[in-house]
Structure 1
Amino acid sequence: MITRQRPTVRVAAGLVAAAAVLLASALGVSAQWAPKGNVSWMAGAGPGSGWDTTARAALQAMSAHKVVGHPVTVVNKPGGSGAIAVAEMVNQHKGKNDVILVTSLPLITNKIMGTSPYGYKDLTPIVRLAATYYMVAVPANSDVKDFKDLIARLKKDPKSVSIGGSTPPADDWAAAMAVFGGAGLDVTKLKFIGYDGGQVAAAVLGGHVQAAVNTVGEFAQHVEAGKMKPLATTGPEREPKFQSVPTVKESGVDVVFMNWRGFVGPPGMPKDAVAYWRQKFGEMVKTQTWKDLRARYSWADAFMADGFDRFLDQNATLMADILKDAGAFKKK
């Protein structure tokens, strides 16, 4: 039997639907925004760097679990320890919703050190994804016995050992300043050689530096392959992968140093876009793929959405104090 809906019923249904829309509007509820085309995830360093690896790992986890249904492209914009990418975000992408930046400590230290006019307050905080600690390492054939031996040599002659890390004021440079400054060394006298983030390990393996500081994740594969000798790590406890490697604190230097990894948007990024990415990254960090990738790269779980802006304020204060104490700069 075929029945026909009477006009009065259709009108009533239409009125109910309209009322629902009006009620939702009054309550501030709307359909969730989502990108309609390609989204760019910008990394302020080259392929293989910490930022690049973070972005591609997050994208891998999202893709594997179909967290997003639109294309995402990782775009590398190396230079100035991330300062070039930050400047592009501020000057070219204000108010946009289709580009975000993977970042970390240099977003803070670049501003503190005056190597960039822009800092985290010029951008839109989205999420903190993970935390990383650092490793002090030497080539496998080095005659440096351990971390204490390295410090003793540097105290005797600060330029006796060349030390590699990312170009100042990148995160592993800041870690080096904190570690060696905490050991009582005048960091301004050290023979520090800066590289693009992805090139630090290559500098150690190629014999271009005699020691280096970088994230545990970026040195891990070379340590496991027997090509690097780890001396110490900067976490509060020994790294799960490297239980035989003492912490800096265990080795007599009272320093614990962490870097965070996260995403920020351009200045004035629409609130619905910020909410969208916070939800999607929140879903992503719960996936098994992301957990496996965190373990592979030695990243600690540190997800934060609400409160990320307050964390950045606190981190900026902490970093200014660390760098000042290390003698890396003088406040004006």
Structure 2
Amino acid sequence: MGAAGCAGGGGGDYPEGDIEIMAPADPGGGWDQTARAMQRALTEGGVVEENVEVYNVGGAGGTIGLAQFVNDHAGDPNQLMVMGLVMVGAIHLNDSPVDLSQPTPIASLITEWEGIVVPSGSEYRSLKELLEDFKADPESVSWAGGSAGSTDQILAGLLAREVGVDPARVNYVAHSGGGEANAAILSGSVTAGVSGLAEFMDQVRAGKMRLLAVSSGERIEGVDAPTLKELGYDLVVPNWRGVMAPPDIEEEDRQAITDMIREMRATSVWKKTLRQNDWTDFFKTGEEFAAYIKEENRRVERLLQDMDLTK
């Protein structure tokens, strides 16, 4: 019996058998990082004695993985899936037949801030220089980021609006995983990159990328970059991630999973990961998390319509 079962969860002996966590994207991105951080915290943190495995199902902003998760794993409490704001937008853009009303909400976990980078050999030393060329000729500046409709693309569209460019003219190059996007930025095949800070910081610290700005409201401790607001752009753009269980699980299992995640959140392993990745704790469970997802769905749908990304 794992520690979660001992913690008073209604599921008694939960988990019975190994836990599998789906990262619904290719390796190297934020969902993959979050799933593997959960894996470490659950096992190394002593929350469960069972094996915890992470697997990747990439494509279409997480909606391919979401459909597989909902259709193939209904009723199985040992299956979990990382998700977040990116998936909310992708569901609209891909006309996904499966949406976030179907899986079982467990908890939101973290928020992180976005970063805007260029390769270290770029001519652009500041965001102002980059956006001047972008304003003059929007299509000449290409932006690498995550999937279509992601927080990354939304931020690029909001920046366009800030400098008077039609968001529909953003030359955004979508990638299914952070590793793929980083490779495009480092090779110089795109002008700039926009994504979660954790996906860039290793390259920034190694001197391979230049961090031009972050999307936080205030400067981030340990990160040498100005905020968008500091540079005169009225934008504060957070990303968030959470975890869900499949549809049709028993209520006692939902409670046991929630207790397990709550215990995971309290481990020193998880807290260390938050510090290392510049993630901010953002914990909501049950009905509060479900209500938050519904509100985010409404907000993102309106924003994508404003950006001419959906009808």
Q: TM-score w.r.t. structure 2 length?
A: 0.91
2:216 alignment partner in structure 1: 235
| Contact residue 115 and residue 215 of structure 2 kept, 8 A | yes
Give 3-state SS (helix, strand or coil) of 1:120's partner: coil
Correspondence for 1:295 among 275, 300, 303: 275
Cα 1:93–1:31, aligned 2, differ >3 Å: closer, same or farther? closer
Cα 1:93–1:30, aligned 2, differ >3 Å: closer, same or farther? closer
| Contact residue 92 and residue 310 of structure 2 kept, 8 A | no
| Contact residue 63 and residue 91 of structure 2 kept, 8 A | no
Amino acid at match of 1:149: E
2:66 alignment partner in structure 1: 86
Alpha-carbon shift at residue 241 of structure 1 (Å):
2.2
Alpha-carbon shift at residue 79 of structure 1 (Å):
1.3
Q: Is 1:322 aligned to residue 303 of structure 2?
A: yes
Distance in 1 of aligned mates of 2:123 and 2:169 = 22
| Contact residue 97 and residue 269 of structure 1 kept, 8 A | yes
User: More displaced, 212-221 or 199-208?
Assistant: 199-208
Q: How many residues align?
A: 301
1:13 alignment partner in structure 2: none
2:114 alignment partner in structure 1: 134
Distance in 2 of aligned mates of 1:258 and 1:54 = 16
Alpha-carbon shift at residue 168 of structure 1 (Å):
0.5
Give 3-state SS (helix, strand or coil) of 1:249's partner: coil
Distance in 1 of aligned mates of 2:96 and 2:155 = 19
More RCO (CA 8 Å, sep 6+): 2
Distance in 2 of aligned mates of 1:286 and 1:30 = 19
RMSD over aligned CA atoms reads 1.8
Q: Is 1:260 aligned to residue 219 of structure 2?
A: no
1:201 alignment partner in structure 2: 182
Distance in 2 of aligned mates of 1:98 and 1:171 = 29
Structure 2 unmatched ranges of 5 or more: 1-8
Distance in 1 of aligned mates of 2:36 and 2:21 = 9
Alpha-carbon shift at residue 45 of structure 1 (Å):
1.1
User: More displaced, 163-172 or 295-304?
Assistant: 163-172
Distance in 2 of aligned mates of 1:247 and 1:203 = 24
1:65 alignment partner in structure 2: 45
Partner deviation per Cα, 1:149-195 (whole Å, 9 max, x = no partner): 22211111001211111130233223322333344321222222111
Distance in 2 of aligned mates of 1:30 and 1:160 = 57
2:25 alignment partner in structure 1: 45
User: More displaced, 110-119 or 79-88?
Assistant: 110-119
| Contact residue 63 and residue 90 of structure 2 kept, 8 A | yes
Distance in 1 of aligned mates of 2:134 and 2:204 = 23
| Contact residue 89 and residue 149 of structure 2 kept, 8 A | yes
Identity %: 32
Alpha-carbon shift at residue 33 of structure 1 (Å):
4.4
2:198 alignment partner in structure 1: 217
Q: Is 1:308 aligned to residue 281 of structure 2?
A: no
Give 3-state SS (helix, strand or coil) of 2:110's partner: strand
| Contact residue 43 and residue 52 of structure 2 kept, 8 A | no
Structure 1 unmatched ranges of 5 or more: 1-28
Distance in 2 of aligned mates of 1:92 and 1:222 = 37
Cα 1:189–1:295, aligned 2, differ >3 Å: closer, same or farther? same
Partner deviation per Cα, 1:48-107 (whole Å, 9 max, x = no partner): 221111011111112112101222211111111111110012211222222111111132
